[in-house]
Structure 1
Amino acid sequence: MLSTIRNLIFIFIIMVFLGFSLMVISYSLPTDHAYECIIQDAGQFDDLYREIIPGYASTRLDLFTDVVFLSATSYYDENISLIENSMSFLHVSGSNLNSYVNGDYSGIWSYSRYWGGYLVVLKLFFLFFNYNTFKILELFFALVVILGIIKEMIKKNLKNFIIPFLFSLFFIHLEVMVLNIQFSVMLNIMLISVFLLLKFKEIIFKNNRLFYYFLIIGMATSFFDLLTCPLLSFAVPMIFYLLLEKDQSNIKDNLCKIFLFGIIWSVGYVGMWVSKWIIASIILNENIVTDALNQLLFRTSSVGYSRIGAILSNVLVYKKKSYLIIFLLIAIYYIKRLRDYRNNISKNNLKELSPFFVIAMIPFVWYFILSNHSTIHFWFTYRDLFIFFFSIMCSLELIIRRKFYT
Structure 2
Amino acid sequence: MAKKIRNFAAILAISAVVGTMLLILVFLLPVGPMRRNVEKSVGDMLKTGDEIPEDAFSKYLWKNRETYTDAIMVQNAIERLPDKNAYEHAMWMYHYDLEEDVWTPEDSLKAFCESHENVNNMYLHIYARYWHGYLLYLKPLLLLFSWKHVVWLELAVQIALMIWVLITAIRKQNAGVAAVTLGSFLFMKPVLVLISLTMSVCWILTLLAVEYMLLHHDGLHEKGQYPEFFLIVGILTSYFDFLTYPITTLGIPLCCYFLLENDRAWNNIKKLIGFCASWGIGYAGMWAAKWVIADLTLHTGTIKDAIWSIIGRTEAIGGRPRMNGGFYVIGLNLHEYPVYMGIAAGILAAVAVGLMVMIIVMGRWKNVYAQLLPVVVTAAIPFAWIIAVQHHSALHARFTFRILSVAAAAAITFIVLIVKQAKSSQKS
TM-score for the superposition, normalised by structure 2: 0.86
1:17 and 2:17 are equivalent in the alignment: yes
Q: Which residue of 2 aligns with 1:75?
A: 79
Q: Residue 21 of structure 1: CA displacement?
A: 0.6
1:322 and 2:314 are equivalent in the alignment: no
- Pairing 1:172-251 to 2, within 5 Å after superposition: 172-246=188-262, 249-251=263-265
Q: Is the 8 A contact 2:181 2:252 kept in 1?
A: no
- 1:89 aligned residue (89, 93, 99): 93
Amino acid at match of 1:217: V
Amino acid at match of 2:406: I
1:134 and 2:150 are equivalent in the alignment: yes
3-state SS of paired residue (1:182): coil
* Partners of 1:286 and 1:24 in 2: CA distance: 17
Q: Residue 286 of structure 1: CA displacement?
A: 2.2
Q: Which residue of 2 aligns with 1:355?
A: 374
Amino acid at match of 1:383: R
Q: Residue 84 of structure 1: CA displacement?
A: 0.5
Q: Residue 301 of structure 1: CA displacement?
A: 0.6
Q: In structure 2, do the counterparts of structure 1 residues 185 and 324 end up closer, same or farther at CA, with 3 Å as the change threshold?
A: closer
Q: Which residue of 2 aligns with 1:8?
A: 8
Q: Which residue of 2 aligns with 1:299?
A: 313
3-state SS of paired residue (2:198): helix
String of CA shifts for 1:68-89, please: whole Å, max 9, x gaps. Answer: 1111111111112221011112
Q: In structure 2, do the counterparts of structure 1 residues 20 and 98 end up closer, same or farther at CA, with 3 Å as the change threshold?
A: same
- Pairing 1:99-118 to 2, within 5 Å after superposition: 99-101=111-113, 102=115, 103-105=117-119, 106-118=122-134
3-state SS of paired residue (1:33): helix
Amino acid at match of 2:249: S
Structure 1 stretches of 4+ moved >4 Å: 50-59, 327-346
Q: In structure 2, do the counterparts of structure 1 residues 127 and 56 end up closer, same or farther at CA, with 3 Å as the change threshold?
A: closer
Amino acid at match of 1:321: V
Amino acid at match of 1:108: L
Q: Residue 34 of structure 1: CA displacement?
A: 1.1
Q: In structure 2, do the counterparts of structure 1 residues 281 and 404 end up closer, same or farther at CA, with 3 Å as the change threshold?
A: farther
Residue range with higher mean Cα deviation, 229-238 or 321-330 = 321-330
Q: Is the 8 A contact 2:376 2:410 kept in 1?
A: yes
Q: In structure 2, do the counterparts of structure 1 residues 326 and 265 end up closer, same or farther at CA, with 3 Å as the change threshold?
A: closer
Q: Is the 8 A contact 1:117 1:224 kept in 2?
A: yes
Q: Which residue of 2 aligns with 1:38?
A: 38
* Partners of 2:379 and 2:317 in 1: CA distance: 27
- 2:64 aligned residue (60, 65, 79): 60
Q: In structure 2, do the counterparts of structure 1 residues 251 and 337 end up closer, same or farther at CA, with 3 Å as the change threshold?
A: closer
Q: Which residue of 2 aligns with 1:399?
A: 418
Amino acid at match of 2:415: L
String of CA shifts for 1:220-262, please: whole Å, max 9, x gaps. Answer: 111111110111111111111111111xx11101101111111
Q: Is the 8 A contact 2:177 2:256 kept in 1?
A: no
Q: Residue 2 of structure 1: CA displacement?
A: 2.5
- 1:269 aligned residue (274, 278, 283): 283
Residue range with higher mean Cα deviation, 373-382 or 327-336 = 327-336
String of CA shifts for 1:26-79, please: whole Å, max 9, x gaps. Answer: 10111111111222222121359x998699899822211111111111111111
Percent identity over paired residues: 25
Amino acid at match of 2:339: K
* Partners of 2:399 and 2:34 in 1: CA distance: 27
Q: Residue 343 of structure 1: CA displacement?
A: 6.7
Q: Is the 8 A contact 2:259 2:417 kept in 1?
A: no
* Partners of 2:64 and 2:180 in 1: CA distance: 24
Residue range with higher mean Cα deviation, 147-156 or 381-390 = 147-156
Q: In structure 2, do the counterparts of structure 1 residues 84 and 386 end up closer, same or farther at CA, with 3 Å as the change threshold?
A: same
Q: Residue 170 of structure 1: CA displacement?
A: 1.4
Q: Is the 8 A contact 1:57 1:317 kept in 2?
A: no
Q: Is the 8 A contact 1:58 1:317 kept in 2?
A: no
Q: In structure 2, do the counterparts of structure 1 residues 341 and 56 end up closer, same or farther at CA, with 3 Å as the change threshold?
A: farther
Amino acid at match of 1:96: S
Q: Residue 204 of structure 1: CA displacement?
A: 2.1
Q: Is the 8 A contact 1:222 1:273 kept in 2?
A: yes
- 2:301 aligned residue (263, 281, 287): 287
Q: Which residue of 1 aligns with 2:101?
A: none
Q: Residue 347 of structure 1: CA displacement?
A: 3.7
Matched pairs, number: 401
Q: Is the 8 A contact 1:31 1:76 kept in 2?
A: yes
Q: Which residue of 1 aligns with 2:110?
A: 98
- 2:386 aligned residue (364, 367, 371): 367
Q: In structure 2, do the counterparts of structure 1 residues 255 and 341 end up closer, same or farther at CA, with 3 Å as the change threshold?
A: closer
List runs of 5+ in structure 1 lacking aligned partners.
none
Amino acid at match of 1:89: M
3-state SS of paired residue (2:245): coil
Q: Is the 8 A contact 1:338 1:400 kept in 2?
A: no
Amino acid at match of 1:290: K
* Partners of 1:47 and 1:227 in 2: CA distance: 26
String of CA shifts for 1:190-235, please: whole Å, max 9, x gaps. Answer: 1111111111223322322111111111111111111101111111
Q: Is the 8 A contact 2:180 2:255 kept in 1?
A: no
Q: Is the 8 A contact 2:47 2:62 kept in 1?
A: no
List runs of 5+ in structure 2 lacking aligned partners.
97-104
Amino acid at match of 2:13: I
CA RMSD, 1 decimal: 2.9
